[in-house]
Amino acid sequence: MAMRSHGTGQFEVEDLASCGSGCVFEAGALVFHPENIYIGDNVYVGHYAMLKAYMRNEMRIGSGVWIGQNCFFHSAGGITIEDNVGIGPGVQILTSTHTEAGRDTPILHSPLQFAPVIIKEDVDIGVGTIILPGVTIGRGAQIGAGSVLSRDVPAYSVVAGVPGRVLRERP
């Protein structure tokens, strides 16, 4: 059986749909389907981060965004990250999930469901957070380390836990 690959993830900045000035991609950063990735100015992408675009939908990263090392972004359903967002190391953003097709179909082979993730400007996402498909994080929200977000986060709220819960509103 012949093996197929999604490629090496090695890329040139020119391969991206767009990339602003002053961007830094650290060693080991991988990019898949760069033609569907749009990046603003002064974006930092840490060591071994993986930006995995998809053959459809887009990954849009605004200006002044900081993406820590070992992050994994999978934009099959689309990802939008607005300006001045800080994303800690090891954060995972997922935009697709397998649906249940019944006991006769292995979950792995069941249909995919897609939903975008939207992160508004001035958000801070703590180390190791997991953001599940369909979540919108409101402007100025702060997400505690290790949180799992399965529903929308209101603007200027502080959220932490598994599942993520609003602890308080930012002043």
What are the chain's domains?
A: 22-169 (2.160.10.10)
Considering the chain, what is the average pLDDT of its residues? 95
Give the model confidence (pLDDT) of 25-53 as tens digits. 999 999 999 999 999 999 999 999 999 99
**pTM for the complete prediction?**
0.94
DSSP run (H or E) holding 39: strand 37-39
Residue type at 144 in one-letter notation: G
Q: Is 98 a catalytic residue?
A: yes
- Name the catalytic one among 47, 74, 98, 109: 98
